Chains A and B, each alone.
Chain A
Amino acid sequence: MRNVLAIMKRELRAYFDAPVAYIVLVAFLVVAGWMLFSQVFLIDRADVRGLFAPSPFSPSLLLVILAPAVTMRLVAEERKTGTIELLTTLPVTDTQVILGKYLAALGLLTIALLATLAYPITISFLGPLDWGPVLAGYVGLILFAAALLAIGVFCSTLTDNQIVAFIVAFILCAALYFVFWLQILLPQSLGAILEYASVSFHLDNMARGVIDTRDIVYYLSLVIAALFLSVQSLSRRHA
């Protein structure tokens, strides 16, 4: 555990030493705010569902781009510069390496997400706001981000090219995101399976204010599967 924390601390510092962290934070705050308020003023109600509900114009879509951007360097860069050899020949396990890096990325996006708390707080001054669904929405959004980041970490272990890591992760995340809208075009049985596989379907449930164990299990299994594959991929190193 101490090793995981040490690696996480280093990665977080690397984010904040470079402009990455600030770009992510500012971009997310500004765009998410714009997306939210353009809807709030349209429907003229103190409702922040727009912050959580998946749609082709929502903060969650922004995460589909930001999560791969945050994770792309984590392993790929170390492969490129050769520091992965230094790191993995220290007495740390591959699992600790992956967990430390993953938690740093999750930490960064959690900070970005929690920063948007400013918006519901602002809106609560404009009209009565039901905090229950807001809480559920945040839990959903953080779980959603956690799943995308785990996929991103896995893609970063596959290559020593950050751009390739980004593109592959983005395609995977976008596919899992948009399949939610695609399923209506398919036969019902297949559609139901695809719906369950979609990251947006489960976010949609939570955005309604319902915390269902099935949704939590879905996200957590995605995280565990992606991280498990990342560890496997890292330990299959060849030089």
Chain B
Amino acid sequence: MADVAGESIIEARGLRKEYGATVAVDDVSFRVARGEVVGFLGPNGAGKSTTMKMLTGYLRPTRGAAVVGGIPVAEDPLGAQRKIGYLPESAPLYDEMMVIDFLHFVGELRGVDAATRQTRLRTVCQRCGLADVLGKDIGQLSKGYRQRVGLAQALLHDPDVLILDEPTSGLDPNQIVEIRQLIRELGKDKTILLSTHILPEVQASCTRVIIIHRGSVVADDSTAALTGGAGALIQLVVASANGALDPTQVRARLAAVPGVRSVEPQPQPSEAGALAFLVRADGAGDPRADLFRAAVAGGFVLLELHREKASLEQTFRSLTKGEGLADA
């Protein structure tokens, strides 16, 4: 559990949600402090959306409580909802409405008075890049624009808290970068909880990560801590200087290098006669120089030597193992 300094803006206290006999979310607790950008991570069907629906007052928890901005959602849903900007999964919007009418409609229900609404609309449209599509029907928009309209709608009343359910799902790589930039910018003055199953997304935008698996929180720590834990990985491709290579011999030689924890053979690289290995370093050490010397001493050539930072992907995989398609 990471230290959460300062006042917590979003708080889940033992949230549980049952649908009949299935338990979608079980005893989920976490806190998000003011100004944090937290990634809510988990395989499909892990309970991310269900948890977010409980935080925003759409679903009532079977047990436990959600508190947003100091307001218990169950007791004062409207009060809590006023503090939240929420983008539901896959950005459901009124397709038959024009973008500008839709934003006015949301603004009205948000209680943004007509005079402020104009200036807010201008700010938000500029921020989300909507100026060109204001007069279009939402149904005609591309996925990227829909997502932006969904974000704009969540930002209209200048909320303290943003809850975004898969804000980049279904977007092309350019659009993903744009939305991420926008989220990073918003993170400067807002508290954001965003869910995703795209790992680089979290590394790109979040200061903290909560990983949820089968309805329970399995990790809650800073992005840095979760990505630095497992030790560095080194990709190696070697070839023989003369004659054929014995894979077991090469492997043994590499494993003997100080600072190496394990060596795994990888699928055949493209070059004929070459061998590929994945070397896991021990702790924070960097055995690359020693690997190079070992190769020279062993009489083989290093075609590739490339260090990967231990990725969130590994942490995620090890925490959410056994997640077959059937569970998704």
Name A's interface SS: helix
Restricting to B77-94, which residues have a CB under 8 Å from any CB of A?
78-79, 81-82, 84, 86, 88-90, 92-94
Restricting to B142-156, which residues have a CB under 8 Å from any CB of A?
153
Q: Quick check: B78 and A93 within 8 Å, CB to CB?
A: yes
Asked whether any CB of chain B lies closer than 8 Å to the CB of A213, the reply is no
Nearest B residue to A82, CB-CB: B92
B108 partner, pick from A6, A81, A82, A86, beta carbons under 8 A: A6
Q: Quick check: B96 and A14 within 8 Å, CB to CB?
A: yes
A3 partner, pick from B50, B56, B95, B109, beta carbons under 8 A: B109
Q: Quick check: B108 and A83 within 8 Å, CB to CB?
A: no
Chain A residue numbers with a CB within 8 Å of B57 are 88-89
Chain A residue numbers with a CB within 8 Å of B56 are 89
CB distance from A34 to the nearest CB of B (A): 32
CB distance from B161 to the nearest CB of A (A): 12
A85-B58, A88-B58 as given contacts; A238 in contact with B84, CB under 8 Å:
no
Q: Quick check: B93 and A83 within 8 Å, CB to CB?
A: yes
Instruction: Determine the distance from Cα of A2 to Cα of B56 in the docked complex, in whole angstroms.
Output: 22
Q: Quick check: A89 and B92 within 8 Å, CB to CB?
A: no
Instruction: Determine the distance from Cα of A93 to Cα of B153 in the docked complex, in whole angstroms.
Output: 19
Asked whether any CB of chain B lies closer than 8 Å to the CB of A10, the reply is yes
Nearest B residue to A93, CB-CB: B78
CB distance from A223 to the nearest CB of B (A): 24
A14-B96, A91-B81, A238-B19 as given contacts; A82 in contact with B88, CB under 8 Å:
yes
Instruction: Determine the distance from Cα of A121 to Cα of B313 in the docked complex, in whole angstroms.
Output: 76
B92 partner, pick from A18, A85, A238, beta carbons under 8 A: A85
Q: Quick check: B93 and A86 within 8 Å, CB to CB?
A: yes
Bits for A83-102, please: 1 = Cβ < 8 Å to B, else 0: 10110111111000000000
Bits for A193-220, please: 1 = Cβ < 8 Å to B, else 0: 0000000000000000000000000000
Asked whether any CB of chain B lies closer than 8 Å to the CB of A239, the reply is yes
CB distance from A160 to the nearest CB of B (A): 12
Instruction: Determine the distance from Cα of A237 to Cα of B90 in the docked complex, in whole angstroms.
Output: 19
Instruction: Determine the distance from Cα of A117 to Cα of B93 in the docked complex, in whole angstroms.
Output: 38
A82-B88, A86-B88 as given contacts; A6 in contact with B105, CB under 8 Å:
yes
Q: Quick check: B110 and A91 within 8 Å, CB to CB?
A: yes
CB distance from A124 to the nearest CB of B (A): 40
Asked whether any CB of chain B lies closer than 8 Å to the CB of A44, the reply is no
Chain B residue numbers with a CB within 8 Å of A92 are 78, 109
Chain B residue numbers with a CB within 8 Å of A3 are 108-109
Q: Quick check: A86 and B53 within 8 Å, CB to CB?
A: no
Asked whether any CB of chain A lies closer than 8 Å to the CB of B106, the reply is yes
Chain A residue numbers with a CB within 8 Å of B58 are 85, 88-89, 237, 239
A90 partner, pick from B59, B81, B89, beta carbons under 8 A: B81
Total residues of chain A contacting the partner, CB 8 A:
23
CB distance from A9 to the nearest CB of B (A): 8
Chain A residue numbers with a CB within 8 Å of B299 are none
Restricting to B102-159, which residues have a CB under 8 Å from any CB of A?
105-106, 108-111, 153
Instruction: Determine the distance from Cα of A23 to Cα of B130 in the docked complex, in whole angstroms.
Output: 34
Nearest B residue to A7, CB-CB: B109
Instruction: Determine the distance from Cα of A85 to Cα of B92 in the docked complex, in whole angstroms.
Output: 8
Q: Quick check: A237 and B111 within 8 Å, CB to CB?
A: no
Q: Quick check: B110 and A81 within 8 Å, CB to CB?
A: no
Q: Quick check: B94 and A83 within 8 Å, CB to CB?
A: yes
Restricting to A88-131, which residues have a CB under 8 Å from any CB of B?
88-93
CB distance from B237 to the nearest CB of A (A): 48
A239-B50, A239-B53 as given contacts; A90 in contact with B109, CB under 8 Å:
yes
A85-B53, A237-B58 as given contacts; A90 in contact with B95, CB under 8 Å:
no
CB distance from A80 to the nearest CB of B (A): 10
Instruction: Determine the distance from Cα of A82 to Cα of B94 in the docked complex, in whole angstroms.
Output: 9
Q: Quick check: A86 and B96 within 8 Å, CB to CB?
A: no
Q: Quick check: B59 and A239 within 8 Å, CB to CB?
A: yes
Chain B residue numbers with a CB within 8 Å of A93 are 78
Instruction: Determine the distance from Cα of A92 to Cα of B79 in the docked complex, in whole angstroms.
Output: 10
Q: Quick check: A86 and B92 within 8 Å, CB to CB?
A: yes
Instruction: Determine the distance from Cα of A90 to Cα of B83 in the docked complex, in whole angstroms.
Output: 10
CB distance from B13 to the nearest CB of A (A): 20
Q: Quick check: A91 and B59 within 8 Å, CB to CB?
A: no
Q: Quick check: A83 and B53 within 8 Å, CB to CB?
A: no
Nearest A residue to B153, CB-CB: A86
Bits for A5-48, please: 1 = Cβ < 8 Å to B, else 0: 01100100110011000000000000000000000000000000
CB distance from B252 to the nearest CB of A (A): 55
Instruction: Determine the distance from Cα of A6 to Cα of B53 in the docked complex, in whole angstroms.
Output: 24
Instruction: Determine the distance from Cα of A117 to Cα of B96 in the docked complex, in whole angstroms.
Output: 32
8 interchain residue pairs of minimum CB distance: A82-B92, A91-B78, A6-B108, A91-B81, A83-B92, A89-B56, A85-B88, A90-B109
Contacts A/B (CB < 8 Å), 23 sampled: A2-B108, A3-B108, A3-B109, A6-B105, A7-B109, A13-B101, A14-B94, A14-B96, A82-B89, A82-B92, A83-B92, A83-B93, A86-B86, A86-B88, A86-B93, A89-B56, A89-B57, A89-B86, A89-B88, A91-B78, A93-B78, A237-B58, A239-B53
Extra 11 A-B pairs, beta carbons < 8 Å, given A88-B58, A91-B78 = A6-B108, A10-B97, A13-B97, A14-B94, A81-B95, A85-B92, A89-B57, A89-B84, A89-B86, A91-B111, A239-B58
